[in-house]
Amino acid sequence: HGLLGEGLLPTLREVLASGTASKDATIIPCGAYVEAALFEDASLAKRRGPDNYRRQRCRGGAACAPARLGNARRLTPYVRVLDLSFSSPPARGAHAGAKVDLQVQKRGRVDAVGYRWRMDLGFGEGVSNWEDADDFQDHWWQMAQPLDAPFDIGPGVPFSLKATHTDTDIVFDVFFDAGFVTSAAALCACGLHVGYSTGRLASLPSDHRALAASCLRGDDTAEVWDVGDGAICALAC
């Protein structure tokens, strides 16, 4: 649901560098773009990611469960903040998009940056986790990343948003006209928490299933990798 959390970019780099795929191979999806907006959501107001999330070991449990947009109130339009090529995947490291201006439409408290994406499948086809996605994608919710420091805004206040991605995550920096304000980062440090999936949970061996369910529902004392669409995440320990 977060687009990059399941290791798409490093996998593609390895496949192309190793010669497993020919140089003129068709990559599906061949690319994607990300749109983001500012949201008010009381349920996210007290959730914070690790201060140094790229170096901190994942804590597991509810504290690292991904946040998704449900009844959040959108305060700005979505703006396109990031373009990614999968046909020519970027080198390992951080890659920043351009700073994009936001027009505030409603008064409220900004608790999080919410984002959605659309993948280009080639041949004129695409797939997305937008609100109007096809029925079979009804579980592909838009993602939310709480701000380090929530703040109040109103219509007419000029803001800008800048997105930076690594192999596993996307970070959003918020700017006022006077400069940097705050950031919104993933709640998980390992990049592998891709969401709770009851279908994947049911595929675990029975002796692990109860433990995984317990941990994913809020047991912060256990270390768990969420059971998501990636087979490498179908682990509980």
Dihedral sign for Cα 200, 204, 206, 212, please: negative
Instruction: Determine the pLDDT at residue 205.
Output: 65
Helix (H) or strand (E) holding 215: helix 206-216
Instruction: Determine the pLDDT at residue 204.
Output: 63
The model's pLDDT over 166-218, given as tens digits with 9 standing for 90+, comes to 887 888 999 987 688 888 877 765 545 544 455 555 666 666 666 666 655 55
In this prediction, residues 160-167 reach a mean pLDDT of 91
pLDDT confidence of 142, banded at 50, 70, 90?
Answer: confident
Instruction: Determine the pLDDT at residue 108.
Output: 94
Under 8 Å between Cβ of 175 and 181: yes
Which residues, 6 or more positions from 17, have their beta carbon under 8 angstroms from its beta carbon? none
User: Is the pLDDT assigned to residue 56 strictly greater than 90?
Assistant: no
The token pair that represents 222 in the structure block: 């256990």
The token pair that represents 148 in the structure block: 């380090």
Q: Write the single-letter amino acid at 144.
A: A
The model's pLDDT over 146-160, given as tens digits with 9 standing for 90+, comes to 888 888 999 988 899
d(C-alpha 191, C-alpha 18), whole Å = 24
